[in-house]
Amino acid sequence: MEPSILQRAIDKYGNDDQLNMAKEELAELIVAISHYQRGRLSKESAEIIAEIVDVYIMLEQIKMILGIQTQVDNYIIIKLAKLKQRLDDDIQTTL
């Protein structure tokens, strides 16, 4: 990801506009996922791929706007460890 480009967008459009844009992009991804589930889009569809990318870019900007990049990255590690533990526990209960 290019932090300088993301920061330029934040500087140009402002925090509130970028946060609103993030909400719009999330909503568009929700619609694309619904279309996929109803068979209107394939998983390779440019529409669903574009929406995933738009959300990813906006999530990076949200982290920058709120100044929480490190906290988010650290919490991802914690959440993944918890998920792994639940998955490992499920394997043990089925054996």
- Give one DSSP letter per residue of 21-71, joined into a string: HHHHHHHHHHHHHHHHHTTSS-TT-HHHHHHHHHHHHHHHHHHHHHT-HHH
Domain residue extents for the chain:
3-68
Q: Is the pLDDT of residue 92 over 90?
A: no
Percent of the chain with pLDDT over 90: 88
- Confidence grade of residue 90 (pLDDT, cut at 50, 70, 90): confident
**pLDDT digits over 70-79, tens only?**
999 999 999 9
Answer yes or no: pTM beyond 0.85: yes
**pLDDT digits over 22-57, tens only?**
999 999 999 999 999 999 999 889 999 999 999 999
